[in-house]
Amino acid sequence: MGKGVPDAEKAELNSVKDHHAAAVADMPRFLKFGRLSTMKLVLVAITSLLLASEAQPTVLKLERPNALPGGGVVELPVNGTGKYMFHGPYLTRVMLGNPPQSFDVLIDTGSILPWIGCETARIPTRLFYPASSTSVLGCSDHSCQALESARAAKCNTSNNRCAYDLGYGNGDNGTASNAVGYYISDLVHLNGLSTPARIVFGCTTSWSGQLTRGGFDGIFGLSPFGMSFISQLYSLGISGKVFTLCMHSPTGGGILAFGEALEPGLTYTPLLPSPQYYQVNLQSIAVNGQTLPIESSVFGPSPSNFTFVDSGTTLAYLADGAYEPFISAIRAATPPSELPFTGENGEICFATSTSIDSAFPSVELDFVGGAKMFLYPHNYMYYVKPSVYCIGWLRNTGRQVTLLGDIVLVDKILVHDLEKKRLGWMNYDCSQPINVTTARGKKHTNSGQSLHSITTSFTVVLVVVIYITLLT
C-alpha cells in the first residue's frame, strides 16, 4: 500500500471529487449501435468514490512475472463492431486464467477498473470461469483494503470477499439494473511476455435489466486510477506508465501498445490532475479557421468545467456554453444544398448527396501551449442512412464539461503518457505499423494489424456511464 493522504488534503480532494461527480452525473459513456433513436440506458457516474490521481499512489502490491519481455512490447489488437461510420465502439481481446480463456472487452480510457462477466452471470456473452489459478481477494488482503480506502470496494463479511456493486438506472423511466461481483486475481497472457502476469480484476457474477443486452464480455479500464490495467502493468514492471492507442475508422482495426509512440509529428498538451480522466486544457474551438465566440470560462479548467478524452464513449459531448456557437458555425459554413433538419432525438442532421469531408467545414481544437487538433467533418458527423448524416457532438445540457469520444479520436495515434503527464496525438492510418518504445526504452515496431475475428452483436443503442456504488 502507498502512503496515506493527510486529513486536510483528503477534505480538499473530496470537495473536488464531489464537483466532478455533479459535472458528469448524467453524461453518456458509450453507444452500442443500431439506431440513435432507439432505447437509451443511462448509467449514472458517481466519481466521488475516486481518489485524486496526483495524491493517490499505486495501491496494489503485485507479483512480478518470472520473465519480462526481451526487447518486445506488450500490444493488443483493436477491432470495432463495424456497425457505425467509424466502426466503434472499439474492443480488444484479452486472455485470462489458466488455461487461458478469451474475452472481447471494451477499451475504456475513462473507466477505473478492468472487469469480466463471471461464473453465474446470466448474460449472452462469454463468461470467465475461475480455475485453480484464481485467487479471491479477501477482506484482509492489502489490495482490498486499499480499494476500500479509495471507496472502490466494500468488504462482504459473510463470505470474506472484496465486493463491488455496479448500480445502473434507465435514463427514460428510472428503472434500475445492477452488476454485482467481487475482486479476484488471476493470470493475464500478453503478447510480448514470456510468462503470464497476475493482475487484479472484477468478476461480475450478476447482471440484471437492460445491461444483459450489452454484447461485450467486460470492460478494459485504462484510466489513471491506481487499479486500472495500465497502472497494474506499471506496478509489475511490465511497461512504463504510458500507452499508445490507434483506432482505424475505415475497418475498425488498430492497435493498443503499452509504450510510447516514436512517430515524428506528434503534438502534445499537458494532462491535468484528475482521479479518473485523461483531462486536458481545451481553450477554444475554430470552424474553418474562425475562432468561435465562446467564453473562456466555459472550458475551465475547474472542478466543474473541464475537458477529457475517453475511448469508452463513441460520440462527443460539448459543454453547454459551447454547443450553440459550434452548431451555428457549422450551419453557417455549410452550402445551402446540404439541407438541415432535426433528427428524432433533436440532433442536427443533413441530407447530402456529396462526401461530407468535401461539403462540410473543418474544425480545430486549440489546447494550452499552442497544441492544435485538426478535425475532418467525419470527426464530428456520423452516418445514419444513405445521404443522411447527423452532427455527433451532442449538448451536455446544464454542464460545462466537454468529452471527446471515439468520433473525435479515430484515425489518430494517441499517446496517454502518465509519466510525463501529457497527451499526444497525430493523424495516422491506424492500419499501418507504429514505432513504440518498450519499458526498457528499446524501439519496437508493431504489426499494425488488428484481430478481425472479434465479433460482437450490438442491436440496441445504449448510452452508458458506469459507476460503482458500495454494498449496504
CA–CA separation, 315 vs 392, rounded Å?
Answer: 6
Catalytic residues, by residue number, are 108, 310
Q: Which residues contact 81 (CB under 8 A, 6 or more apart)?
A: 32, 33, 87, 88, 89, 91, 252, 456, 458
Whether the Cβ atoms of residue 402 and residue 320 lie closer than 8 Å to each other: no
Can you name the residues that pair with 413 across neighbouring β-strands?
246, 426
Element (H, E) at 8: helix 7-24
- Burial bucket for residue 385 (CB in 10 Å: 0-12, 13-18, 19+): exposed
Q: What is the DSSP letter of 435?
A: E
| Helix, strand, coil % in the chain, rounded to nearest 5 | 15, 35, 50
Q: Are strands 372-375 and 381-385 parallel, antiparallel or unpaired?
A: unpaired
Half-sphere exposure for 374 (CA within 13 Å, toward CB): 10
Choose among 357, 417, 441: nearest CA to 71: 441
Q: Which residues contact 52 (CB under 8 A, 6 or more apart)?
A: 13, 16, 17, 273, 274, 275
Sign of CA dihedral 5, 29, 107, 144: positive
Whether the Cβ atoms of residue 91 and residue 80 lie closer than 8 Å to each other: yes
